[in-house]
Amino acid sequence: MKNGRFLFLPALSCLLVTSCSLPEDSITLQGAGATFPAPLYKRWFLEYYKLHPEIRVNYQAIGSGAGIRQFTEGLTAFGASDAAMSAAEVEQFKKERGSGVQLVPMTAGSVVLCYNLPGLSADLKLKRKTYLRIFLGEITTWNDPAIAESNPGLKLPDLDITVVRRADGSGTTYAFTNHLAAAGANVGIAWTPGVGKSIRWPKKEMIGGRGNPGVAAQIQQIPGAIGYLESGYAALAKLPTAALENKAGHFIHATPETGQRALADAKVPDDFRIWAPDPEAPDGYPIVTYTWLLCYQDYTKFRGDPGAGEALKQVVHFCLTDGQRYSKELDYTPLPKNVVDRVLVALANIKTVREK
């Protein structure tokens, strides 16, 4: 199933983007943002369209930072981000749009470290201190003793490490750096570049790629490269992923199941900003994140199609219920039932122009 996860995407050019034949009372919802969940979002929107051809969704995967900007500027009916929205961004939205923001967690996924080491005979294992020092620019060759220590018997090449990172404002970067800061604090290594959708990387030689697809392409092209990706993009690109040491000291590969274990004990606050930057679960993968839709709390303030709010609520309800069955198929982590139940209550409370 992994290699088939994107086979439906060409059909979207008709179903979700161009002016195919639609019922007269049809509505098109414009959304933009994170590349991390884009394959799953587009699958959801396609499946919903099959059931309800009067509603289509045009989602542009342009990165979390750009998605938040377009949403704040009123250019889209919804945004999407792997970094939620900060308090300052929510306040700016209220100021410009006259409505609060409802964060809607939709799914979760893992951030994996992919590498390009031709001829490597087995999977790579990386300790927490090791991958922290790689992304700090302190470990610069693949046969460094710190890497060799975790990979006995594996012939590591005398090859320079090329770090590939995101060039655009990215929720994937936020999730990754949030983990590096938390893990670093737990192992005595300061993650000095900070946490954010965009950061100043420690070395100018670190190469940027736009979106998850851009990072994947750079890793594929550069022998000795390592970079961070959403796990599904790694599967699509057929890139190997490292087993990472978690907080309990176990080397874990990313799967929907290890992601679920990592998030099992995450506390769910009322604003749904759910973070698990360094999970405690002994059998959980260490880098996991939720990803959110950004919605108006009051769609009477939306300046686009007056029916957008009610249509969006219907689509999101499908994604949170029947649509969750597609998550594992596409290498994402389905939402726990207790999270879904609370999010559905918040969704029902979103005000639309059809309410009296």
137 three-class SS: coil
Contact (Cβ atoms closer than 8 angstroms) between residue 80 and residue 201: no
Q: Say which CATH superfamily domain 110-265+274-287 falls into.
A: Periplasmic binding protein-like II (3.40.190.10)
DSSP conformation letters of 32-57: EE-STTHHHHHHHHHHHHHH-TTEEE
Contact (Cβ atoms closer than 8 angstroms) between residue 150 and residue 268: no
Beta-carbon contacts of residue 347 (< 8 Å; ≥ 6 apart):
102, 104, 313, 316, 317, 320
Contact (Cβ atoms closer than 8 angstroms) between residue 288 and residue 276: yes
- H/E stretch holding 291: strand 288-296
- 112/326 Cα distance (integer angstroms): 20
Structure tokens at 131: 């991958």
- 49/52 Cα distance (integer angstroms): 5
Per-residue pLDDT 10s for the chain (356 aa) are: 333 333 223 333 333 433 344 455 799 999 999 999 999 999 999 999 999 999 999 999 999 999 999 999 999 999 999 988 989 999 999 999 999 999 999 999 999 999 999 988 778 999 999 999 999 999 999 999 999 999 998 999 999 999 999 999 999 999 999 999 999 999 999 999 999 999 999 999 999 999 999 999 999 999 999 999 999 889 888 999 999 999 999 999 999 999 999 998 888 999 999 999 999 999 999 999 999 999 999 999 999 999 999 999 999 999 999 999 999 888 899 998 989 999 999 999 999 986 54
Say what the pTM is: 0.86
Question: Minimal CA–CA distance to 142: which of 253, 226, 244?
Answer: 226
Q: Do domains 2-109+289-348 and 110-265+274-287 have the same CATH topology?
A: yes
183: exposed, middle or buried (C-beta count within 10 Å: 0-12, 13-18, 19+)?
A: buried
The residue ranges of every structural domain in the chain are 2-109+289-348, 110-265+274-287
Cα distances (angstroms) measured from residue 174 to each of 49, 116, 206, 303: 32, 23, 17, 30
Contact (Cβ atoms closer than 8 angstroms) between residue 203 and residue 163: yes
Return the bridge partners of 56, or none. 28
Contact (Cβ atoms closer than 8 angstroms) between residue 136 and residue 191: yes
- H/E stretch holding 94: helix 87-97
- 138/145 Cα distance (integer angstroms): 12
pLDDT for 2 equals 37
Q: Say which CATH superfamily domain 2-109+289-348 falls into.
A: Periplasmic binding protein-like II (3.40.190.10)
